[in-house]
Amino acid sequence: MANSAQARKRARQADRIRLQNMAQRSAYRTAVKKVRKAIEAGDKAAAAIVFQESMSAMDRLADKRIVHKNKAARHKSRLSSAIKAMA
């Protein structure tokens, strides 16, 4: 339990930031799922458009260190290759 005023404030801030990070990570996962769903639908043009929108969200969260930069790069690479592999 936080005893000093400074520690109590840091605990409040940590809770607020944790909730923001959780929401942003959830949005990241949703963006990846949207691209996967578009790929499964079989429309290459639509998948490419959704991928472009999702890519900026992935980069933004990687820059903020909410997700690791290599994780974002791995997702972008795999999704991009899946779109390229579509007939």
Q: Is residue 87's pLDDT more than 80?
A: no
pLDDT for res 13:
97
Question: DSSP assignment of the chain, as one string?
Answer: ---SHHHHHHHHHHHHHHHHHHHHHHHHHHHHHHHHHHHHHT-HHHHHHHHHHHHHHHHHHHHTTSS-HHHHHHHHHHHHHHHHT--
pTM of the model: 0.86
What's residue 31's pLDDT?
A: 96
The CATH class that applies to domain 5-84 reads: mainly alpha
> 46-86, pLDDT tens digit by residue?
999 999 999 999 999 999 999 999 999 999 999 999 999 99
Q: What is the pLDDT of residues 18-28, one digit of tens each?
A: 999 999 999 99
